[in-house]
Amino acid sequence: MTEESNKGIFQSLDWLTIGIYLILIVWGWFSVCGASYDFNNPDILSWENRSGKQMVWLFCSVGLAVMLLMIEKQFYIGSSYYLYIMMMVLLALTIVIAPETKGSRSWIPIGPVKLQPAEFAKFAVALTLARYMDEHGFRMDNTRQFLHVVGLIMLPIAIIIGEKETGSALVYLSFFLVLYREGMTGAFLFVAFSFIVYFVVGIKFGEEFIPDMPVSVGEFSVLLLIQLFTIGMGYSYCPDKQAITIMAIVTLVATGLAFLFSAFVIPFNVCVIQVICLCLSFAFLIFLAFYERLLNYVWIGLFCVCSAGFYFGSNYLINNIMQPHQRIRIEVLLGTKEDPAGAGYNVNQAKIAIGSGGLEGKGFLKGTQTKLKYVPEQDTDFIFCTVGEEEGFIGSAGVLVMYLLFILRLLALAERQPDTMGRVYGYSVLCIFLFHLFINVGMVIGLTPVIGIPLPFFSYGGSSLWGFTILLFIFLRMDAERHVKDETRRGGG
């Protein structure tokens, strides 16, 4: 590509996104200053301090961003498969060559810095997906092709779990949101969502009982949810609404009568009736499948049975197989147990740090909780604490709003891509950011499990900063080529 066309590219760059990017990285840098403040060495620009190092990573990323904007989209797409293979090899190699740090083997030390390949593999996977799904004849409802895509996503997950870096591996699940946008049935997401709901409700209310009845609130609610979800799925995916209505009326009325009988006549465990209803529903759905010769009924029947199986299985797992400390972790997260000194320590300290910030915060470098290292990992995974403590509600809500703008802008950019490739890649970028934001901030404020993944642009660390920069700027370059690309394609075709 010539100088001139590069010039054109820079004119069609989305400067709004770049602006938000710059605001976020600078904001992040100030937060790292607060979080890594060292009382013995208060010079925030010193190389000895993390804030000094982060400054260097910051300038490197800006340089990296400029470089990435110079490279054509065609190059990225063309090399994507090779990049994917290289990255998978590198990830696998990491398990072998990386020294163990904090129980995982995911960091490769290169001179004074350590790199985390899992952060860099994201863009390779995103590019590969984009290219594969852009290929002629790709259809999401083609099971073989769909399984290929799933395999492309699951491979890095498997390797990274091998590195014992589960948090980073889970990030790759965000690609399923991309698949959803590209036409994957929402049922998959709904199943995943419903299983999480069973798990949370089942444990959170498992120990509570309905007054005067030998019925656990958790068990009753979960089984009722399974009944309702099964009926709901039946209405969404089956043509014979009448049959589903019959099933709904029979099971719900039976459950209701059982509940009333238990409440007013002889107390007994209503859940038995619910399980029988579920079994009947399953049998009825299988019958419908044969009767109407439609596979969807089988799927719904399986959903019904698997849901119940998952619920009872997870209960058994937690109560009989899990180690007590693991069980406590789950119970603390769901708020059924308090253990501020043990499993709940991180989250409790994080809440104290954020809560003590108040409306306006304590001021830059004036937070005591994060500075005095009450919050573990306070300049990496728990960096949001520092924002909350030093900048208060205004600052922390501001960060969230800024992220929302960023993500919605990426959404707009992805939607304006002329081809599947650009859109898939754009959505990949967006979903990765969204996943990080959801998990990271959620865990800090005690709403999601503690999964050690960084907050993009805020958490200290060169690898993650560069990884997100690469991810973003490749997309910005693609976006900038949206007109050019059309012409070349057209010209080529």
Partner 1 sequence: MKEQDFGYRKYVLGGIALVIVLLYIARLAVLQLASDEYAGSAKSNALFNNVLYPSRGLVYDRNGQLLVYNQPTYDIMVVTNEIEDLDTLDFCHTINITRKEFDKKMRSIRNLKGYSRYTQQVFSTQISGEEMAILQEKLFRYRGFYIRKRSMRKYEYSYGAHFLGDIGEVNQREIDHDEYYQSGDYIGKNGVERSYEADLRGEKGVEVLLRDSRGRVQGHYQNGEFDRKPKPGKDITLTIDSELQKLGERLMEGKAGAIVAIEPSTGEILCLVSSPTFDPRRMAGKERGRYHAELYEDLNRPLLNRAIQGVYPPGSTFKISQGLTFLQEGVITTSTPYPCSRGFRFKGMKVGCHGHGAPLPLIPAIATSCNGFFCWGLYHMLNDRSKYKTIQDAMTTWKDYMVSMGFGYKLGVDLPGEARGLIPNASYYDKNYKNDWNALSVISIAIGQGEVCLTPLQIANMGATVANRGYYITPHIVKEVKGGHIADSLTKKHYTKVKKEYYDDVALGMRRSVLGGTCKKANNHWYEVCGKTGTAQNKGHDHSAFMGFAPMNNPKIAVAVYVENGGWGATYGVPFGALIMEQYINGKLSPASEAQVQKFQARHILRPSAELKAIKERKDREAKAREEAKKARNDSLKQSKSVDAKAPKDLKATQPPKDSKDLKDSKDLKDSQDPKAVKDSKIPKDSKASKTVKESAESKVLQPTDSLLLDSLKQQQKPKQP
Using CB under 8 A, list all residues that contact partner 1: 39, 139-140, 177, 180-183, 341, 349, 351-359, 368-369, 371-374, 388-389, 392-393, 396-397, 400-401, 403-404, 407-408, 411, 414-415, 420, 423, 427, 430-431, 434, 437-438, 441-442, 445-447
Q: How far is the CB of 476 from partner 1 (least distance, A)?
A: 19
Q: Say if residue 290 is exposed, middle or buried (CB neighbours under 10 Å; 0-12, 13-18, 19+).
A: exposed
Nearer to partner 1, 68 or 434 (CB): 434
Cβ-proximal residues to 441 (8 Å cutoff; 6+ apart), any chain: 384, 400, 455
* Closest approach of partner 1 to the CB of residue 61, in Å: 24
CB closer to partner 1, 39 vs 264: 39
Whether the CB-CB separation of 410 and 17 falls below 8 Å is answered with yes
Residue 392 beta carbon to partner 1: minimum distance, rounded to whole angstroms: 6
- Give whole-number Cα distances, 400 to 393, 404, 440, in Å: 10, 6, 12
In the bound complex, what is the minimum distance in angstroms from residue 294's beta carbon to partner 1?
21
Of the two residues 268 and 438, which places its CB atom closer to partner 1 in the complex? Answer: 438
Residue closer to partner 1 by CB (options 151, 418) is 418
Distance, in Å, from the CA atom of 339 to the CA atom of 334, rounded to the nearest integer, reads: 12
Minimum CB–partner distance for residue 35 and partner 1 (Å) = 13
Check the CA dihedral 213-217-219-223 and report its sign.
Answer: positive
Nearer to partner 1, 231 or 375 (CB): 375
Closest approach, Cβ 401 to partner 1, in A, equals 7
At its nearest, how many Å lie between partner 1 and the CB of residue 360?
A: 10
Residue 134 tokens, joined: 């852009």
Choice between 180 and 312, CB closer to partner 1:
180
Nearer to partner 1, 162 or 398 (CB): 398
Nearer to partner 1, 246 or 408 (CB): 408
Least distance between partner 1 and beta carbon 194 (Å): 16
Integer angstrom CA distances of residue 336 from 200, 272, 332, 339, 445 = 11, 25, 6, 10, 16
User: Who contacts 202 (Cβ-Cβ below 8 Å, separation ≥6)?
Assistant: 218, 219, 221, 222, 311, 314, 315
